[in-house]
Amino acid sequence: MTRIIFLGPPGAGKGTQAKILADHWGVPHISTGDILREAIKEQTPLGVKAKSYVDSGQLVPDLLVQDMVEERLQRADTTSGWILDGFPRTVSQAAFLDNLLQKINLDGVMVINLDVPDDVVVGRLLERGRKDDSEEIIRHRLEVYRSETTPLIDYYRDRKQLIVIDGNKSPQSVTSNLKDLIVSC
């Protein structure tokens, strides 16, 4: 059973790898952004709440995101596994997820950190050509990521769940390394 949490800075390749592996193993690739957009589109009770925050330009509160993740992980398509991308982002969200997984009797979650040097991330994100991605903005996003995520990486390392993968390779090479790792565990 494949249950994976992907960590890594913006531009590390989390979304790319999550999609490839989800398709390979026939499990859902669950990103918090997708959950949020789907809930708003379908006007679920949580989606209606989230829409009010999005429409006013505010961040959706952790509790609401957590409720959406809980709802998503209990759908029928997750019984053979899932790949989480973008959640958890903080230690409090990780603790919530641990409690949720215990509550719904799921264990054996793999936490994979795609490690990519900042200069490589900056280059990748600049190549995307988004007009709001200047080098200064990208470096600031990386600083914020590091300050928020370092405690999360430590959280999973302390629990002996963290696996670090060199993401500074070709996407095909990273995919091959991930497939080998997952099959061997």
Residue 41 marked in a binding site:
no
Residue 32 marked in a binding site:
yes
CB distance 78 to 23 below 8 Å: no
How many CA atoms, within 13 angstroms, populate the side-chain half-sphere of residue 48? 3
The rounded distance, in Å, linking the Cα atoms of 50 and 55 is: 9
Residue 37 marked in a binding site:
yes
3-state helix, strand, coil in the chain (%, to 5): 60, 15, 25
Residue 176 CA to chain centroid, in angstroms?
Answer: 19
Residue 13 marked in a binding site:
yes
Residue 86 marked in a binding site:
yes
Q: Smallest Cα–Cα separation from 87: which of 1, 178, 5, 3?
A: 5
Residue 141 marked in a binding site:
yes
Residue 124 marked in a binding site:
no
Residue 159 marked in a binding site:
no
The rounded distance, in Å, linking the Cα atoms of 123 and 121 is: 5
Residue 96 marked in a binding site:
no
For residue 30, give the H/E element and its range: strand 29-31
Residue 108 marked in a binding site:
no
Residue 89 marked in a binding site:
yes
Binding residues for AMP are 32, 37, 58-60, 86-89, 93, 130, 141
Binding residues for ATP are 11-16, 128, 169
Binding residues are 11-16, 32, 37, 58-60, 86-89, 93, 128, 130, 141, 169
